[in-house]
């Protein structure tokens, strides 16, 4: 059991709070989804209640050690200020004399946002001097950036060597909810998987499949599994090098408790664009010149029936090409249904979380992970460096 924020004294202390404000931005540099900022609010409010002064740090995008104005965290600071209805000061950098002075002068309940950590190469390189410079700004370190805990970056794994450290409320909740899937999910437990790639889901499927009662597969993943079973999939792009993987997973499912369910019908088209002519065909009737772009209405109904008596659902990956409305019907059908049923629906994966947020369904799901790749790695059974770096709780 790792040390949590309630286990350490943060009252009237300067707290370096590592968050994951790696929010999506549009071409104008505006935030398109503030879910990751809102997810950190409980921890920030807890610190404010304890009269702490808060130094917030995060990465944004991939500036590769360069100062890129388009990837400044100022936009996140402004949004955080709006959500908290209080000022958030913005530093011009994340280390250096000016930042040190701003941190030193920070008063109780004041908030300072540091500039993008990845503007310095020392962050990704896990440079010890960079970590020490960050640690020198505060008295306590709190990691609430679950989405970055699979990285061995300086602000994630090295700062706990220099400051009393603990997990924030979001990180604690992520570990509790995702850990519950691995340790003791309520049955029937249904897995719903989609998206384009099976390669980044192999380990999680292998680690969780024997805990599931039903495994539903849609998206381009379904095309790979159908191909492995000898079905025609037309011009659908798949990971051909993963055919053997799909075959092995089909075989594993046949020898375990889980019932593997593939689509009954599919939406297909010749061209993938907003003006495409789409049609619905049975899974064994995909024309050679067509591409699979969504699950069909029979499959939506079948998947919903399989989900109807579930107690736990884990969903990762869209059912079709969600970005094009014509091919988003299957994904929306799953999302809306999961929001209505009496089951704990746990959503993980960056694109899936963004879809749920886009449909304004986040608050109606059991839990929407902010973790993306970190969530999938954790569920695959791989220890997360950021979690491992935190001290154990003392009882």
Which residues are part of the catalytic machinery? Answer: 36, 197, 350, 373
Residue 285: helix, strand or coil by DSSP? coil
Please, are residues 114 and 72 in contact by the beta-carbon 8 Å criterion? no
Distance separating alpha carbons of residues 122 and 257, to the nearest angstrom: 47
Please, are residues 139 and 96 in contact by the beta-carbon 8 Å criterion? no
Residues 6+ apart with CB under 8 A from 256: 209, 210
- In DSSP terms, 267 is beta-bridged to 280, 294
Please, are residues 211 and 188 in contact by the beta-carbon 8 Å criterion? no
DSSP code at position 154: I
- In DSSP terms, 193 is beta-bridged to 217, 316
Cα angle: 76, vertex 77, 80; to 5 degrees: 85
Q: Would strands 312-316 and 189-193 be described as parallel, antiparallel, or unpaired?
A: parallel
Please, are residues 291 and 298 in contact by the beta-carbon 8 Å criterion? no
The CA–CA distances, whole Å, from 363 to 22, 74, 345, 369 equal: 21, 27, 11, 12
The CA–CA distances, whole Å, from 21 to 73, 148, 240 equal: 8, 10, 35
The CA–CA distances, whole Å, from 101 to 105, 122, 163 equal: 6, 21, 19
């Amino acid at each position: 059991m790792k040390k949590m924020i309630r286990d350490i004294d943060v009252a009237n202390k300067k707290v370096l709070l590592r968050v994951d404000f790696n929010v999506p931005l549009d071409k104008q540099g505006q935030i398109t989804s503030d879910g990751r900022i809102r997810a950190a609010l409980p921890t920030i409010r807890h610190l404010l209640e304890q009269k702490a002064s808060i130094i917030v740090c995060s990465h944004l995008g991939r500036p590769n050690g360069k100062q890129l104005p388009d990837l400044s965290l100022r936009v996140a600071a402004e949004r955080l200020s709006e959500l908290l209805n209080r000022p958030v000061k913005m530093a011009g950098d994340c280390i250096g004399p000016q930042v040190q002075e701003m941190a030193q002068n920070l008063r109780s309940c004041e908030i300072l946002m540091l500039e993008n950590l990845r503007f310095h190469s020392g962050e990704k390189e896990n440079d010890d001097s960079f970590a020490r410079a960050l640690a020198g700004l505060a008295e306590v370190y709190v990691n609430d950036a679950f989405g970055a805990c699979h990285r061995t970056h300086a602000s994630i794994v090295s700062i706990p060597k220099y400051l009393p450290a603990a997990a924030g409320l979001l990180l604690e909740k992520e570990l509790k909810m995702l850990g519950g899937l691995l340790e003791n999910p309520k049955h029937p437990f249904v897995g719903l998987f989609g998206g384009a790639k099976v390669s980044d889901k192999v380990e999680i499927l292998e680690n969780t499949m024997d805990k599931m009662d039903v495994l539903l597969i849609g998206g381009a993943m379904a095309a790979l599994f159908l191909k492995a079973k000898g079905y025609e999939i037309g011009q659908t792009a798949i990971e051909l090098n993963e055919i053997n993987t799909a075959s092995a997973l089909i075989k594993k499912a046949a020898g375990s408790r889980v019932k593997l369910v593939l689509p009954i019908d599919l939406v297909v088209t010749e061209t993938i664009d907003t003006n495409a002519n789409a049609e619905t065909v049975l899974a064994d009737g995909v024309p050679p010149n067509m591409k699979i772009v969504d699950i069909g209405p029979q499959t939506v109904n079948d998947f919903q029936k399989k989900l109807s008596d579930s107690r736990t659902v884990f969903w990762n990956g869209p059912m079709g090409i969600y970005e094009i409305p014509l091919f988003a019907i299957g994904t929306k059908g799953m999302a809306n249904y999961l929001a209505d049923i009496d089951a704990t629906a746990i959503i993980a994966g960056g694109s899936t979380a963004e879809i749920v947020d886009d449909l304004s369904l986040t608050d109606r799901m059991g839990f929407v992970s902010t973790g993306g790749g970190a969530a999938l790695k954790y569920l695959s059974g791989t220890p997360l460096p950021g979690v491992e770096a935190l001290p154990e709780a003392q009882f």
